[in-house]
Amino acid sequence: MAALVLSVAGSAIGSSFGAAGAIAGRLIGAVAGAVIDRALFGPRAPDGPRLADLDVLSSTEGTPIPRVYGRMRLAGQVIWATRLEEQVSGGKGSSSGRSYSYSANIAVGLCEGPIAGIGRIWADGKELDQKDLTIRVHRGTETQDADPLIVAKEGAGETPAYRGLAYVVFERLVLDDFGNRIPQLSFEVVKAVGRLETMVRSVVVIPGSTEFGYEPDIHSREFGYGRSAPETRHTTLASSDFSASMDELQALCPNLEAVSLVVSWFGDDLRAGHCTIRPKVERRDKAVRDLVWSAAGLTRESAEIVSMIDDVPAYGGSPSDQTIIRAIQDLTARGLKVTLVPFVMMDIPAENDLADPHSGAASQPAFPWRGRITCDPAPGRPGSQDGSNDAVAEIADFVGTASAAHFSVTGPVVGYLGPDEWRYRRFVMHMAALAKAAGGVDRFIIGSEMIGLTRVRSDVGHPFVEALVAIAADVKVLLPEADLTYAADWTEYGAQVRGADVDFPLDPLWASDDIAAVGIDWYAPLADRRDTSDGSPYDILSLRDGLRSGEAFDWYYASDAARIAGTRTAITDGLGKPWTFRQKDIWSWWANDHRPRIAGVEAAPTGWVPGSKPIWLTECGFPAVDKGANRPSVFPDPKSSESGLPPFSAGTRDDLIQRRALEAVLGRFDPAFGADDADNPVSPVYGGRMVDPATLSLWTWDARPWPAFPADDEAWADGANWETGHWLNGRLGSAPVSDLARAILADYGIEDVLADGVEGVLDGAVIERPMSARDALEPIARAFSLDLVERGATLVLSTPAAPAILALTGDDLVEAEGQAQATITRTEESALPLELSLAFAETEADFRTSAVSSRRLAGSSHRVSSLALAAAADPAEMTVRAETLLQRLWTAQDRATFTLPPSLIRLEPGDQLALTLGDREHRFALTALEGTGMRQAEAISTAPLVRPRRPPSARRPYASMTGDGRPAVEILDLPPLDDADPPVLQHLAAAADPWRGPYTVWRGGDGLGDEAIGTLTKPSLMGETLDALERGAPWLWDRGASVTVQLVAGSLSSLPEPQVLGGGNSCAIRGPGGTWELLQFRDADLIAERTWRLSHLLRGQRGTEDRIQPVAAGAPIVFLSGPLVALGTSLDHVGRSWRYRVGSSVLLAADPAVAEVTATMGLTALRPFSPVQLAARREAGGIRIAWTRRTRIGGDSWDLAEVPLVEAAERYRIAVLDGADAELRAVETTEPAWLYAAADEVSDFGAPVSALTVRVAQLSTLAGPGTSTEAALSV
């Protein structure tokens, strides 16, 4: 008996398959017919994988080890841990007391290895910031070593390596944020199962327009006081965006050998003679910690700014020179070959006033393709210089005169002493100089896709091609070891046809000794599908055949109307060389000499030697959009006039067509994946393949890592283009159902599997416990409407999309005596599901469980069925699957039995028949065949597969990564803020937005290392003034003055006057001399985000009246209601210069994100306040001068008869001043009064006076004179 091993819409077959059921037996039982629910589809519900079993981190002996396919989130099992470690900070020299924190060392087992790697990690449901954590990932190979921490703790002879188990080790994971307990941890595990990932050998890395996007290190953008935002790191991974993206690329593509790094400058005009090419920036007001943007001698201040669309930059800025150098060096250090690609982007905004050379319109198209740059007017238009010697001058203006001799390279610094021009040569030569500064590159592209220039003719040739030949020679001066090429558009590399004339414009370049290969950006169509086309759009054999057949090979469309009508024109040639006109026929172009034609007559061959150089496919990509193989060269970009869709595309996302088309191209040219000599011939000249497989570079991989790109709309404006664009990020590492099924079956020992006909893509799947192959595979097979057919020793998986392979009538069947030709049984509608739901983990919602449903609009059924997958997917993809499955269940209402004659022995289970019985045609799929001659057949009704239109993917809100800039830090020398004795001598305030608390304060210097002396669990309340504050009078309500402040974080509030007088709303503001005045405010009005206007002020509080000064905008202000760190009370620290470092407690003191300040501890807190209420009266013997003493500590009670004396002794210094403020006499006294003797008065002034000026200060044994009071007294 032969049968469908598994069918979504079938009947139960039984458990015995007989001799022909070897594979089925390995699947453990007959699984045909078991689907949505037991009542409808058979006696046993499958016991497949479950997501719920993977939610919670635990440590249970004997727990099964899961298997992961693609990308999934797992909690894992704790397999090793130490006791919690305690850390103590504070103590001696700190008034803040001791604080305790705890850390854990743990190892978490995840799944069967080897895996590609770990992405995000969640702790207690929130993404864990992995920066500054010590995390080691063991991929689960069979050769992995034991973890060094476990070895150190347990001993070398006692530590298993856990080979075959992927696990993660946390070393000293700080537990402060988790309530001093080990949090619930879960992990994004990635294990590539797709065929494409193994085929990738080279990719193109973008975006070319990114100021610091290629920076290997982490830097934050710092703006405002204590505020920062991410610049080179937008994920919770431990490294920069660029490093994280490259790490993932290498992990997913084990055979990756090379990358092409795109670097963009900007062109500004389609008219060659007017076009300048220069680096630009996104904005002027951008400061990045430890990174300064500079390109070709321009700074952020001197460079032009890219065009803006609704106040958002149309592009990222050009990469900074030093970032390019570091990126090249990083890629080289990774063992990758590097190709540097200078890339011209056209920054031409909409509604410009630039004349269009192609149409003559007054405005050029918005943000066009660089291939549109041409002479003005363009070739073919009246007055064009094309074909005349006048074209030479215009091309020369575009090219410029910069040469290799104008550049110098000293270490990482590139100098330029050439003409002051921004033309093409300067761009290319500057990039070559940067490559040299980086230590060289393996390959260098001197230009790409400039067909509008290479096709411009002079009276004797093609001047831009001649310029490219000269540029190649000049680049070789700077990069003698690099291989060079020009990356021609796929329609540009070969013949140029002008009526009966034929040229080969680029042949002089291809023949140049300085050019190592023929470069082609390969975006040729592989298909010409409509919605009504037969067969599967994903058939890899058809796509592979499309490389050497179809449009641009066998035929072309003469117009758009012809394309719509399907009217094809054959490509022919009267001279027997149709390849001349076949843009896809690189085989013939490469293998033949090239003879130009004049009026249809061939001339002498060009300098091209057949088969003399390899072809590099410098770019090859396909959009992830339905019918993407129809025209791979289009891309989505709403701002650009070039934006579009492939012909007949509905614009819906289709990851599978992108993957299958790339596999078709790679498989056609790479011998490692099936290419033979006919596919990719061997050169008789250099002995290598026509197309060098190692240089077939896929477009494109983004340096911005998924999922931050495309999800982070705050950081990048082009994220929406990812949905149907050419990006491979977020798609490589997924689990195409065909590859997933193969991988699952291979893990059960079933290797001979054919699954190329399977449609659909999951992001990942998991098998969390031991189960049969049937149970593992069946939920996925049901969800994706798969049929499994055993054919000999091969198990065939397919999506039933094929047309009927045979039309039969009742006369073709064997009619048994007394029986009908065929028996057809129909399932009642009430037994079919009216609504079907699919549950799964939604990848872009942090793998949270989600569900989609499909519902029929008509029918008598009320049944609702559901299916849960232990798989991750996009809801839009699963919506398509639910609709497809529901449709198929309803089309499979009829079940037929009939007998086939021996003449139809070729039919097998899974084949589809068009069976006419009477006057009605039925469509059936065979599910079982029993017998050897005449065979009893069982079949179910089918219908042509309808592919529902995929809805747009949901754009989930993305929690943008916070910046990790340095906090704002202020050291405050203040009078005592409370009654503690001894008082705190110095305070520290620190705040940051974002706050990555708690923050530790380290003190060092004076030959000592850094010691943690305090912790801030939340930010200090602090900010900066936005306007000036004039000098004011102390101690009096100033109801007219105000000051505007912007806080780093936090908020303020108004208070009633009595509460202010009781000490509320106190703050310290730093004056121009660095001293701090204490003031208070009654009213705080919020006038903008983080911005407050403070009014009704009390100035010079707590003895700081001498510090009242005009304060300029930008002065720091610290509010005393917020937390401060007391830096000490010990006099041992006074007069010594200390270094203070402040940063997140998870950082080391020397981390770049730690702020560093130096300060000398003074005696401000010990200095007496100034005396008040000075008075003078004459009495016998002289003038008695008296005053009232104030106190620093404990003097705030109204019930005290006299404020406390906190000094060791009561002492004062009083001086009598002359009119010029010079001291005439100074004495010390031990009481708050002094008699100025009459004799001394006459001695000082010559006679008794009616008024005098005095200065009085209280003296401290430790701090010396306190703040003095100077007064002019009437006697």
| 345 token code pair | 């982007």
- Give a yes or no: residue 760 inside a domain: no
Asked whether the beta carbons of 151 and 144 are under 8 A apart, the reply is: no
Is the model's pLDDT at 876 over the cut of 60? Answer: yes
| pLDDT band for position 54 (cuts 50, 70, 90) | low
Q: Say how far apart CA 886 and CA 866 lie, in whole Å.
A: 11
Q: Supply the pLDDT for residue 62.
A: 85
Strands 280-281 and 304-305: parallel
What are the φ/ψ torsions at residue 48 (nearest 5 degrees)? -90, -175
Model confidence over 1096-1145: pLDDT tens digits?
999 999 999 999 999 999 999 999 999 999 999 999 889 999 999 999 88
- Give a yes or no: residue 1094 inside a domain: yes
Provide the CB-side half-sphere exposure for 1113 (13 A, CA).
5
- Give a yes or no: residue 262 inside a domain: yes
- Give a yes or no: residue 470 inside a domain: yes
Does one domain contain both 1151 and 1191? Answer: no
The whole-number average pLDDT for the span 979-1001 is: 91
Contacts of 638 (CB under 8 A, 6+ apart): none
What are the φ/ψ torsions at residue 1045 (nearest 5 degrees)? -125, 150
The whole-number average pLDDT for the span 95-102 is: 66
Does one domain contain both 1193 and 1155? Answer: no
Does one domain contain both 1057 and 1199? Answer: no
pTM of the model: 0.89
Asked whether the beta carbons of 1096 and 1039 are under 8 A apart, the reply is: yes
CATH number, position 1119: 2.40.10.170
CATH number, position 668: 3.20.20.80
Q: Residue 276, preceding bond cis, omega within 30 degrees?
A: no
Asked whether the beta carbons of 838 and 853 are under 8 A apart, the reply is: yes
End-to-end CA distance of the chain: 129
Asked whether the beta carbons of 579 and 591 are under 8 A apart, the reply is: no
Q: Residue 596, preceding bond cis, omega within 30 degrees?
A: no
Asked whether the beta carbons of 300 and 293 are under 8 A apart, the reply is: yes
Residue 1231 CB neighbours (<10 A): 10
Which tops the pLDDT comparison, 859 or 388?
388
CA quadruple 1197, 1201, 1207, 1208: dihedral positive or negative?
Answer: negative
Averaged pLDDT of the chain? 91
Q: Supply the pLDDT for residue 89.
A: 62
| pLDDT band for position 308 (cuts 50, 70, 90) | very high
Provide the CB-side half-sphere exposure for 354 (13 A, CA).
25
Does one domain contain both 372 and 502? Answer: yes
The whole-number average pLDDT for the span 470-494 is: 98
Q: Say how far apart CA 347 and CA 1056 lie, in whole Å.
A: 57
Is the model's pLDDT at 95 over the cut of 80? Answer: no
Does one domain contain both 977 and 1046? Answer: yes
- CA-CA-CA-CA torsion for 581, 584, 585, 587, nearest 10 degrees? 150
Residue whose C-alpha is closest to residue 977's, from 1154, 759, 1124: 1124
Q: Say how far apart CA 1180 and CA 1110 lie, in whole Å.
A: 45
DSSP state of 553: T
Among candidate residues 194, 228, 245, the one where a domain is terminated: 194
- Give a yes or no: residue 134 inside a domain: yes
| pLDDT band for position 1148 (cuts 50, 70, 90) | confident
| pLDDT band for position 1202 (cuts 50, 70, 90) | confident
Does one domain contain both 419 and 455? Answer: yes
Residue 133 falls in which region: left (phi positive, over 0), alpha (psi -120 to 50) or beta? beta
The whole-number average pLDDT for the span 36-50 is: 49
| pLDDT band for position 18 (cuts 50, 70, 90) | very low
Asked whether the beta carbons of 1102 and 1167 are under 8 A apart, the reply is: no
Q: Which residue has the tokens 């641009």?
A: 552
| pLDDT band for position 932 (cuts 50, 70, 90) | confident
| 1233 token code pair | 């009064």
Strands 735-736 and 761-762: antiparallel
SS3 label, residue 1115? coil
- Give a yes or no: residue 769 inside a domain: no
Does one domain contain both 347 and 372? Answer: yes
Asked whether the beta carbons of 1048 and 1037 are under 8 A apart, the reply is: no
CA quadruple 69, 71, 72, 75: dihedral positive or negative?
Answer: positive
Alpha helices in 902-1033 (DSSP H): none
Lowest mean pLDDT among 31-45, 274-288, 594-608, 968-982: 31-45
Q: Supply the pLDDT for residue 6.
A: 55
Q: Say how far apart CA 1191 and CA 1177 lie, in whole Å.
A: 25
| 523 token code pair | 């975006």
In the chain, the number of structural domains is: 4
Is the model's pLDDT at 41 over the cut of 50? Answer: no
Q: How much of the chain, in percent, has pLDDT values that exceed 70? A: 95
Does one domain contain both 315 and 168? Answer: no
Among 28-42, 795-809, 1140-1154, 1203-1217, the range of highest mean pLDDT: 1203-1217
Q: Say how far apart CA 296 and CA 65 lie, in whole Å.
A: 55
Q: Say how far apart CA 1013 and CA 990 lie, in whole Å.
A: 14
Q: Say how far apart CA 851 and CA 779 lie, in whole Å.
A: 15
Q: Say how far apart CA 769 and CA 111 lie, in whole Å.
A: 11
Q: Say how far apart CA 880 and CA 762 lie, in whole Å.
A: 12
Is the model's pLDDT at 232 over the cut of 70? Answer: yes
- Which residues make beta-bridge pairs with 1023? 1047, 1117
Does one domain contain both 1248 and 1153? Answer: no
| pLDDT band for position 962 (cuts 50, 70, 90) | confident
CATH number, position 1195: 2.60.40.10
For the chain, the 3-state helix, strand and coil shares in percent, each to the nearest 5, are 20, 35, 50
Strands 337-346 and 304-305: unpaired
Is the model's pLDDT at 16 over the cut of 70? Answer: no
Among candidate residues 724, 756, 781, the one where a domain is terminated: 724
Model confidence over 415-448: pLDDT tens digits?
999 999 999 999 999 999 999 999 999 999 999 9
Model confidence over 575-619: pLDDT tens digits?
999 999 999 999 999 999 999 999 999 999 999 999 999 999 999
The whole-number average pLDDT for the span 1197-1217 is: 90
CA angle, residues 94, 99, 100, in degrees to nearest 5: 150
DSSP state of 1111: B
Residue whose C-alpha is closest to residue 800's, from 763, 759, 766: 759
Does one domain contain both 142 and 226? Answer: no
The whole-number average pLDDT for the span 190-198 is: 97
Q: Supply the pLDDT for residue 1220.
A: 84
Is the model's pLDDT at 899 over the cut of 70? Answer: yes
Give burial (CB, 10 Å; 0-12/13-18/19+) of 622: buried
Among candidate residues 724, 739, 767, the one where a domain is terminated: 724
Q: Say how far apart CA 162 and CA 138 lie, in whole Å.
A: 9
Is the model's pLDDT at 966 over the cut of 70? Answer: yes
Q: Supply the pLDDT for residue 312.
A: 94
Does one domain contain both 1007 and 1044? Answer: yes
DSSP state of 651: -
Contacts of 219 (CB under 8 A, 6+ apart): 212, 231, 232, 233, 240, 288, 289, 290, 291
Model confidence over 285-297: pLDDT tens digits?
999 989 999 999 9
Q: Supply the pLDDT for residue 821.
A: 82
Strand ranges for 621-732 from DSSP E: 697-702
Q: Supply the pLDDT for residue 21.
A: 38
- Give a yes or no: residue 928 inside a domain: no
Residue whose C-alpha is closest to residue 433's, from 276, 297, 260, 277: 297
Instruction: For residue 435, give its domain range.
Output: 220-724
- Give a yes or no: residue 110 inside a domain: yes
Q: Supply the pLDDT for residue 427.
A: 98
Is the model's pLDDT at 67 over the cut of 50? Answer: yes
Residue 1177 CB neighbours (<10 A): 11
Q: Say how far apart CA 910 and CA 907 lie, in whole Å.
A: 9
Q: Supply the pLDDT for residue 1090.
A: 94
| 266 token code pair | 């900007």
Asked whether the beta carbons of 786 and 6 are under 8 A apart, the reply is: yes
Does one domain contain both 1194 and 1140? Answer: no
Lowest mean pLDDT among 618-627, 824-833, 834-843, 1057-1066: 824-833
Asked whether the beta carbons of 767 and 808 are under 8 A apart, the reply is: no
The whole-number average pLDDT for the span 787-813 is: 81
Q: Supply the pLDDT for residue 60.
A: 83
